C-alpha cells in the first residue's frame, strides 16, 4: 500500500523501513518532513494511507482534503488520538488505526528520570564538576523513600510508574476514572479522589489521556490544594496542565519542582531545531528560566524498543487494512 508518512524524522524512516523490510509484501512509504496540516495535506494526493504522529493535525479541514484526494486510512504511529477529529473521519468514511501500546516502560522510566534529575539536580552537578567545581550547596535533595507519590491515571504507563516508585519505597495514591485491581495489588497503594491526592502528595505525576474532562486538570484550583513545594511531573499531554497557573504556582513556591516532557503549545517547535531562532513563546521561555524546572522535548517514548514496536504495529495495521482484515487497533467513536 502507498503510504504518505508525515512529520517524519530520520529515526522514523529507519525503524519503519526496517519493519517494512521484514514483510513479504512491503508497503511503499514516502516520507515527508512536513507535519500534516490543511496546507500540507495536498502532498498526500493519491495516497490511500497517511501515517501521522502526535504533532500532526488531522482536523476536519485537513481530513476533508485528504478524503477528496483519495485517502482512506489514517495510521497514527502513537497511542493518543487527541490530534484527530474522529467524528469527521467517521463521516468521511475514513478508517483510523493507532498503536495502543508500544513501550509503557519507556515513558514510565523517563518520568522517573525527570524526578531523579529534579530532586538530585544531576544536570547542575554535571556542569559543576565539568568546571572543577566540587561544592555541594544548591544540590540538596530528599529521599524518595517514604515520600508520597500521587498518580493521576493508572493505566499501562501509570501502573509501571507506580511499580517503580513502590520499589523506591514510596507511598502511592492513585486517581483514575476507571480504577483497576492491578494498582491496588502493588502494595502501599490506594485510590483516593483528586482533592485528597493533591493535598497529600509530595510528587504528582500525570498519566491520564487528554480528554475534554482532563483538559487543565492541573489548574489554579488544583494547585491551591497542593502541598507547599510539591513536585509536578507531566509526561502525558501538555494541555493537561494550565501553564500560566503553574507559573504562578512556581512563583508562589507551591510548586517546588516541575518536570515536563510535554507542553501545551509544543506543536510550534518540538521535534525541530530552533537553536538559531528566536522563540516567540514567552510563556515557554519564562518556564525555561526557572531553576527548578526541567523540560524535555517529548522524548519519553524515545527508546529503541518503543520505536521498533511502533513501526511493527504500524506496518501490520496498514497491512491488515489493505487485506480487508478485522482491525484490532481501530480507533472508533464511542457509542
* CB nearer ligand NAD, residue 47 or residue 161: 161
Active site residue 298: yes
Residue 182 as a binder of ligand NAD (CB under 6 A): the answer is no
Tell me which of 62, 201, 214, 243 binds ligand NAD, using CB under 6 A: 214
Cα–Cα distance measured from residue 334 to residue 81, given in angstroms and rounded to the nearest whole number: 13
Q: By CB under 6 A, what part of segment 31-50 binds ligand NAD?
A: none
Q: Cβ distance 197 to 221 under 8 Å? A: no
Please tell me which residue in 57, 264, 266, 312 is annotated as part of the active site.
266
CA distances from 68 to 45, 62, 75, 92 (A): 8, 10, 17, 9
Tell me which of 51, 230, 262, 307 binds ligand NAD, using CB under 6 A: 262
Please tell me which residue in 27, 237, 264, 312 is annotated as part of the active site.
237
The count of chain residues that interact with ligand NAD, using the rule CB under 6 A, is 31
* CB nearer ligand NAD, residue 104 or residue 113: 104
The number of C-alpha atoms within 13 Å of 301 and in the hemisphere containing its C-beta is 23
Closest residue to ligand NAD in the complex (CB): 155
Active site residue 266: yes
Bridge partners of 231, per DSSP, are: 203, 257
Ramachandran area for residue 324 (φ above 0: left; ψ -120 to 50: alpha; else beta): left
Contact characters 305-334, ligand NAD, x per CB under 6 A: ------------------------------
Q: What residue has cell string 524518595?
A: 144
The number of C-alpha atoms within 13 Å of 271 and in the hemisphere containing its C-beta is 24
Q: Cβ distance 191 to 184 under 8 Å? A: yes
Tell me which of 20, 62, 201, 235 binds ligand NAD, using CB under 6 A: 235
Active site residue 326: no
Which residues lie near ligand NAD (CB under 6 A)?
79-80, 101, 104, 107, 152-158, 175-178, 207-211, 213-214, 235-237, 261-262, 298, 300-301
Amino acid at each position: 500500500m502507498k503510504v504518505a508518512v508525515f512529520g517524519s524524522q530520520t529515526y522514523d524512516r529507519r525503524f519503519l523501513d526496517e519493519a517494512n523490510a521484514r514483510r513479504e509484501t512491503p508497503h511503499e512509504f514516502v516520507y515527508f518532513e512536513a507535519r500534516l496540516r490543511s496546507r500540507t495535506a495536498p502532498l498526500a494526493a493519491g495516497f490511500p494511507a497517511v501515517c501521522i504522529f502526535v504533532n500532526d493535525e488531522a482536523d476536519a479541514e485537513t481530513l476533508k482534503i485528504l478524503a477528496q484526494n483519495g485517502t482512506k486510512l489514517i495510521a497514527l504511529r502513537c497511542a493518543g488520538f487527541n490530534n484527530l477529529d474522529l467524528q469527521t473521519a467517521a463521516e468521511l468514511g475514513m478508517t483510523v488505526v493507532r498503536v495502543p501500546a508500544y513501550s509503557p516502560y519507556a515513558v514510565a522510566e523517563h518520568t522517573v528520570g525527570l524526578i531523579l534529575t529534579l530532586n538530585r539536580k544531576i544536570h547542575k552537578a554535571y556542569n559543576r564538576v565539568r568546571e572543577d567545581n566540587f561544592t555541594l550547596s544548591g544540590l540538596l535533595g530528599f529521599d524518595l523513600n517514604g515520600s508520597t507519590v500521587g498518580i493521576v491515571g493508572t493505566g499501562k504507563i501509570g501502573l509501571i510508574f507506580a511499580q517503580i516508585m513502590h520499589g523506591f519505597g514510596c507511598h502511592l495514591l492513585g486517581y483514575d476514572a476507571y480504577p483497576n485491581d492491578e494498582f491496588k495489588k502493588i502494595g502501599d497503594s490506594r485510590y483516593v479522589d483528586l482533592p485528597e491526592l493533591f493535598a497529600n502528595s509530595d510528587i504528582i505525576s500525570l498519566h491520564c489521556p487528554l480528554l475534554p474532562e482532563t483538559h487543565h486538570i492541573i489548574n489554579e484550583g488544583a494547585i491551591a490544594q497542593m502541598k507547599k513545594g510539591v513536585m509536578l511531573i507531566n509526561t502525558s499531554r501538555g494541555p493537561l496542565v494550565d501553564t500560566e497557573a503553574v507559573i504562578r504556582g512556581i512563583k508562589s513556591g507551591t510548586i517546588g519542582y516541575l518536570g515536563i516532557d510535554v507542553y501545551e503549545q509544543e506543536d510550534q517547535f518540538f521535534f525541530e531545531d530552533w537553536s538559531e531562532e528566536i522563540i516567540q513563546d514567552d510563556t515557554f521561555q519564562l518556564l525555561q528560566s526557572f531553576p527548578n524546572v526541567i523540560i524535555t522535548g517529548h522524548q519519553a517514548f524515545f527508546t529503541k524498543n518503543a520505536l521498533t514496536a511502533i513501526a511493527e504495529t504500524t506496518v501490520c495495521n496498514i497491512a491488515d487494512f489493505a487485506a480487508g482484515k478485522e482491525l484490532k487497533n481501530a480507533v472508533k467513536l464511542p457509542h
